[in-house]
Structure 1
């Protein structure tokens, strides 16, 4: 099934949520929603019962989904919304793909947790997607997730959650000094948490002392493989979130980091530099437990 969404209303639906809601209940075949260039100011949910969904934009710089909820925004009953209801795009479907889009939470800096993409799917793929926000930009909650050539920006814990997520050739951009890129909550029995392959990290002008991660839960796992890091990354690399016991259970790893922010000698002693043999085990099929994202 092919559905078209146009912000001008000239073709198909004018609202992405209306397009999703038009899919017949119980429909099982794959659905492509072609999103024409434009700014879509709406909060969008892909429900758990949805069939395999592809949100297909034409260009990430001209096809933008944006909203501005934050953790302090009043919910329907007047109470504060909290982090997990702030997502501009919330995904609960078993199989989901997004390509050539921008997903933005425009709440702004200093407003607290404000999620752009809330990904609680079984299997999710993002290709050439820009994820824009400040604190808690991307909630990689559960399941297996794959990000290819994506741009992700933020300031505090801007990639967080318990999913197994592979980031290939992605660009991470630090917007504030003394921030944190990741806050993983990897389950104890998970072999992999967040793996970054051949990525790069940059910072805004004057931004420094940014940590690669801190453990939201005791068994956080994050690995940076062949990642280019600018000077915004702090020498020690990793933070224990004020809980020294998590230094024993967290798994923070690097292999062949390069650039001004890569300094193995300065890294905290409880992180690890992988051997060539260990790094070679970080392959797509291994990380994603046999699932290959090209199939979606």
Structure 2
């Protein structure tokens, strides 16, 4: 997973396409209270199951306000699903499970997207498992607890919240775009291996002092980008009081890549920015043109980072340089 942040004309990124597109008349509804009807379902998974396999047109599912306590899987055979919620913290898909109970880092995921062309607007994906200890010896009962896992291509999340504690957002293979969204966690809360993610105008909210935003798992140099972060805010007024000394990330893989560009970095960041994780790692980590009281640190860990100029960054931080053809499928964030 590579993570990049850029300042290259944000408006230009979306002026290229940002298509609205027609809204399908075949709309399914998820609601706890709507009158029974053939297109109304009480759970999100039931609506997903009703979507035809291998559809060649968009399949819109409107998720009415409510908390839907369930695990959801959008299988590879269910492409072009669009979840439309009623706003942040309104249409919530929530579960509570971690690797401690499942013995896996993936199976506890609240919403798992294996399909291509998945899109979400105004949704909240949440895993409520937190870092907890039991007994006098402090037996740990937490662990990787993803709220959202994506592995398809041309996935996109707009105006949504992804909330958890450890390993909140997992991007494995494929590519995904986040715009105007809020991602929260404490430990390695954006992670994965072999996937590409681009974040624009997002808030990355760290819940614990000494925590890590990203843990990138690339083990061999690859072409293109994996994680890109453009004009985003690190931490916010939503962070718990006293949270400090957190890191931009640490290399899970030996060839991890991450760039923060034109992001707002608070004074509470650890001034070294990057922390060790995997022995022998030679990551391509960099902070480019960021702002805020924590930006331009003179104590950056140079063993884990490289200097990239604005001119160099401009060569690879356009959408189509990130993913060839990306500008043809990016949608207007305010479509719904």
Q: TM bucket by the smaller chain?
A: over 0.9
C-alpha offsets along residues 242-277 of structure 1, whole Å, 9 cap, x if unaligned? 52x21xx31001111122222331111131232121
Partner of 1:224: 260
Q: How do residues 1-296 of structure 1 correspond to structure 2 at under 5 angstroms?
A: 1-10=26-35, 12-73=40-101, 80-110=102-132, 111-162=142-193, 163-186=195-218, 188-202=221-235, 203-241=239-277, 243=279, 245-246=280-281, 249-270=282-303, 271-281=305-315, 282-292=317-327, 293-294=329-330
Q: Going by fraction, where is strand more abundant, 1 or 2?
A: 1
> Per chain length, whose mean CA-contact separation is higher, i.e. which structure has more relative contact order (CA < 8 Å, sep 6+)?
2
TM-score (structure 1 length as normaliser): 0.92
- Flag the 1:29–1:290 CA change in 2: closer, same or farther, 3 A: closer
- Flag the 1:242–1:143 CA change in 2: closer, same or farther, 3 A: closer
Cα distance in 1, alignment partners of residues 243 and 125 from structure 2: 23
Q: Does the CA contact (< 8 Å) of 1:102 and 1:129 recur in 2?
A: yes
Cα distance in 1, alignment partners of residues 278 and 242 from structure 2: 26
TM-score (structure 2 length as normaliser): 0.82
Q: Please state how far the C-alpha of 1:221 moved relative to its aligned partner.
A: 0.7
Residues matched between the structures, number: 287
Q: Please state how far the C-alpha of 1:26 moved relative to its aligned partner.
A: 4.2
Secondary structure class of the residue paired with 2:129: coil
Q: Does the CA contact (< 8 Å) of 1:193 and 1:222 recur in 2?
A: yes
Unaligned runs of 5+ in 2: 1-25, 133-141
Cα distance in 2, alignment partners of residues 263 and 275 from structure 1: 13
